[in-house]
Amino acid sequence: MYHQLRNLVADARKAGLIVVVWAYPRGSGLPSKEAETALDVVAYAVHIACQLGAHIIKCKPPSALISLPENVKRNLYSQCLENLSTRVKAVLEAAFSGRRIVIFSGGEKKATHEILEEVRELKKGGAFGSIVGRNAFQRPFKEGVELLHEIEDIYLEG
């Protein structure tokens, strides 16, 4: 897939387009299903997307897990596990020290207070935004609009 992406990036650049990559690690190369959202794996996926030419990267919020054996052995990322905001900072560091736009997916449907707390942590960590379609559009219209306004208010604070 790296080769395919490289070709797509070249085509996009020739056409004057930006490149957006969904960096969702999957497959038999991971030690477990939980590793798909492990901090080290998400950070690596974002970094590879940057190296292959992405301008904007969408990824899942990283969990408080270090998954790859070499990272566990070397104690990498262990100082970043405390909360979502510190994990987000680590992912942004992997994105050419924050020089690329990283947007985090919203995941499964959650309660309003859970969504808003996650958005606060994402913002605190420096995220450029979060995708919340499922959580907004699977609610009654008025409730979904109110949620979107609350999320907008969080990102616009300060």
The reported pTM is: 0.92
pLDDT band at 141 (very low <50, low <70, confident <90, very high): very high
Q: Please state, in angstroms and rounded to a whole number, the distance separating the CA atoms of residues 110 and 139.
A: 11
Pick from 17, 29, 91, 99: nearest CA to 59:
91
* Catalytic entry in 58, 60, 77, 123: 58
pLDDT band at 100 (very low <50, low <70, confident <90, very high): very high
pLDDT one-digit tens code per residue, 105-127 = 988 889 999 999 999 999 999 99
Active site residue 155: no
Confidence check: pLDDT of 36 > 90? yes
* Catalytic entry in 2, 14, 24, 73: 24
Confidence check: pLDDT of 158 > 90? no
Active site residue 24: yes
Q: Residue 125: which H helix or E strand, with range?
A: helix 112-125
